[in-house]
Structure 1
Amino acid sequence: MSRPDWLENPWKQNPWFESVAVAQRRAQKRLPAPVYGALVAGSERGQTIHDNQAAFAEIGLLPHVAGHHADRAMSRTVLGHEVSLPVLISPTGVQAVHPDGEVAVARAAHARGTLMGLSNFASKPVEEVVEACPRTLFQMYWTGDRDVMVQRMERAQKAGAVGLIATLDWSFSMGRDWGSPEIPERIDLKTMVRMAPQVATKVRWLRQFGPRHIPDLTAPNLAPPGGSAPTFFGAYYEWMTTPPPSWEDVAWMRETWGQISGTPFLLKGVARVDDARRAVDAGVDAISVSNHGGNNLDGTPATIRLLHPIARAVGDQVEVLMDGGVRRGSDVVKALALGARAVLIGRAYLWGLAANGQAGVENVLDVLRGGIDSALLGLGLSSIDELTPETLIVPEGFHVS
């Protein structure tokens, strides 16, 4: 076996990283400021995005000193598919941090035995992503009229998507206390000249794209049949100008997808027990307790605070997932103990993608897998199936219902 090139050249950075935090620091060094700023941005004062991570630190784990298990299991069936670890890829928009974008993420998900979530605001077509990861869930916002949404569902089904994620939690909060990063509508010569001072120092990031791989800021999965893909801002405008959905619309979306595909339907963005019950009434197969990664209504509690009451209310009727703030394997363990079937990650894998492409995403999943395993070992458990709320030390008043 050949030695890694970074061992041959000690001055070359080891591409492997030991934590998501290290991946984030590498991504910050590698990416132009506007690109990095778009990834870390939260709405308004950033209260929710901060709490998403900080809340995990309030929960404790009490380890055993002996009686540990040599083998520990973390596979689980989620949305009808067995995954090797209870961590799924959450759909995120235009992934211009790497030229392979969502395709690289999909390959990593497939290599590590988990499910891929693809945003309909993605920069790569659903057909390419499903080819890279056959177990891909297609995500849709409520945009356009019903005929347009049916056309997009049919395209996803024809491509081979194994489920649909409906993301409906969006209040279009624009104001950020630190200002919004500049995101151009398209990358052309004029834009490149104007933004040159911000990207000229990011030589490694520029080199990986090369002259033939200019970052794509279009949304190909929103292209009409035979038409061209809208720009990200064109897609965003359609989203903002579409009247918000009712619960009857959610039921229609679920029923329509069932007729087209017959595969699972997940409603993402649930933050209240009463909404979770309405989702059950609408016929969904699963929900994700989510606050849009802190990019929605600022002041929404961390999702880990919301999880247990929701899981207790509807967890025997639908699968309950959670996303928001997961950065460590111990975070995953805490979420599972409080009732999540699995978690979805967003920014965590984007840091890995920015730091080292497909291998970086695989690295993030390996970091989380190792952290889950370490937590199970310390807790004296042989499987994630043994996790319960009693496994944790949860402060009084932590849960929000």
Structure 2
Amino acid sequence: MASTREWFESVAEAQRRARKRLPRSVYLALVAGSERGLTLADNVDAFDEIGFRPHVADLPRERAQATTVLGQDISFPVVISPTGVQAVHPEGEVAVARAAAAAGTAMGLSSFASKPVEEVVAANPATFFQTYWVGSRDRILARTERARAAGAKALIVTLDWTFATRRDWGSPPIPERLDLKALLRFAPEGLLRPRYLLDWARSGALPDLTTPNLATAGERAPTFFGAYGEWMQTPLPTWEDIAWLREQWGGPFAVKGIMHPDDARRAVDAGATAISVSNHGGNNLDGTPASIRALPAVVAAVGDQVEVLLDGGVRRGSDVVKALALGARAVLIGRAYLWGMAANGEAGVANVLQILRSGIDESLLGLGRASIHDLVPEDLIVPEGFTRALG
């Protein structure tokens, strides 16, 4: 169907609408990548290098997309990736969780999220709680136990975040808190985006820059930079630390940020039930290859031992199919759903998920595959030199 005021046909259209609706600094925060943005760009561009080997006639009348990720049955192989402090819409992660639940898929919730885990799990019981290695073991355990008590179904530990703020093209400023000084500073941007201001005015709140899921019992929720300060002072984790947390959690456990086959093997040894091939959306070590380039080597190393997920650069249903044909169980999306939410709130997130679901179905039909589980590398045309083994 053609785009209308309430519907967009592509993730690219969602991005264009998000750019028109959001204040400049908020939008730039969504599209930022570290340093020159080489990895950020490659995450998207690499998918375009892969072609398909289509079939015609005797094509399947029905195509199945259901699968299982971290113990949860999902209706199609797209999961919400955890993203921090969502200032794009007043309902934030709760709106995303509702849209994901309606689509029959799981919600990844960041420990740096703007909404409490209890509210998000209530909106979508299939919620995976994500954490960084921030603070002492006792504090990390207290946060994960809170997530367990709330009903989170799995734990995701992200290991690939160095929080590089350097941007050759200029990094958007993020205030410590939205006090009077910050409001005056950003007022000109807001006045140029009246619909954004109206959404927040109707909610009766200001964009929340605190991180409620990092607070332990009796504590006040730290600001984003307060949480970042604690992270900066925390000794970097070892694989022994990760194995300890896996044992403490006891349930489905994913390690996010894997690009090197050696790290994939270490994650398996630590007891991970899933790994996410991810370069943090181009926000970690710039010059790292696209996630999809690293995927085949990781699958070859551990694909028969754990669920392998892919995170980074997915903008179309055909991208999802390419990742699955190369061995991924499912993909996680970040910027795509944030653009959808900026464009049209919860309905915009649902719009993005429907676009991806439809694109997967169309790609399966063109390839002559009755199920996502039938996809194989031979369905693709992968140019020589495309993959990056890294080890």
TM-score above 0.5: yes
- Do residues 147 (structure 1) and 138 (structure 2) align? yes
Q: Deviations over 1:210-236 (max 9, x none)?
A: 062211110001112112101111011
Of 227, 241, 244, the residue aligned with 1:252 is 244
- Do residues 116 (structure 1) and 107 (structure 2) align? yes
Pairwise CA distance, 1:78: 1.4
Letter aligned with residue 158 of structure 1 = A
Aligned match of 1:30:
21
Kindly report which structure 2 residues correspond to 1:58-73, keeping only aligned pairs within 5 A, or say none: 58-73=49-64
Counterpart secondary structure, 1:210: helix
- Conserved? CA contact 2:54–2:379, under 8 Å: no
- Do residues 392 (structure 1) and 383 (structure 2) align? no
Distance 1:174 1:351 in 2: 21
Structure 1 stretches (4+) deviating beyond 3 angstroms? Answer: none
Counterpart secondary structure, 1:230: coil
Aligned match of 1:233:
225
Aligned match of 1:281:
269
- Do residues 345 (structure 1) and 333 (structure 2) align? yes
Aligned match of 1:271:
259
Distance 1:194 1:172, change over 3 A: closer
Distance 2:84 2:54 in 1: 39
- Conserved? CA contact 1:112–1:362, under 8 Å: yes
Of 53, 68, 72, the residue aligned with 1:81 is 72
Letter aligned with residue 185 of structure 1 = E
Kindly report which structure 2 residues correspond to 1:162-177, keeping only aligned pairs within 5 A, or say none: 162-177=153-168
Of 149, 161, 167, the residue aligned with 2:152 is 161
Moved more, 225-234 or 285-294: 225-234
Counterpart secondary structure, 2:237: coil
Q: Deviations over 1:16-59 (max 9, x none)?
A: 01000000000000000000000100000000000000000000
Q: What TM-score results when the alignment is normalised by the length of structure 1? A: 0.95
Distance 1:376 1:87 in 2: 15
Counterpart secondary structure, 2:170: coil
- Conserved? CA contact 2:8–2:351, under 8 Å: yes
Q: Deviations over 1:248-295 (max 9, x none)?
A: 11111111111xxxx200000000111111111111110000000000
Aligned match of 2:98:
107
Counterpart secondary structure, 1:134: coil
Distance 2:263 2:193 in 1: 45
Aligned match of 2:172:
181
Pairwise CA distance, 1:13: 5.7
Moved more, 211-220 or 341-350: 211-220
Of 177, 184, 201, the residue aligned with 2:192 is 201
Distance 1:377 1:321 in 2: 23
Distance 1:123 1:252 in 2: 28
Moved more, 218-227 or 187-196: 187-196
Pairwise CA distance, 1:173: 2.1
Aligned match of 2:348:
360
Kindly report which structure 2 residues correspond to 1:295-306, keeping only aligned pairs within 5 A, or say none: 295-306=283-294
- Do residues 324 (structure 1) and 315 (structure 2) align? no
- Conserved? CA contact 1:337–1:391, under 8 Å: yes
Letter aligned with residue 83 of structure 2 = T
Aligned match of 1:9:
none
Pairwise CA distance, 1:79: 1.3
Q: Deviations over 1:78-100 (max 9, x none)?
A: 11111100000000000110000
Q: What TM-score results when the alignment is normalised by the length of structure 2? A: 0.97
Aligned match of 1:5:
none
Aligned match of 1:374:
362
- Conserved? CA contact 2:33–2:283, under 8 Å: yes
Distance 2:137 2:184 in 1: 41
Moved more, 219-228 or 294-303: 219-228
Of 24, 36, 40, the residue aligned with 1:45 is 36
- Conserved? CA contact 1:172–1:240, under 8 Å: no
Letter aligned with residue 232 of structure 1 = F
Give aligned pairs, total: 387
Q: Deviations over 1:328-376 (max 9, x none)?
A: 0000000000000000000000000111111110100000000000001
Pairwise CA distance, 1:399: 1.1
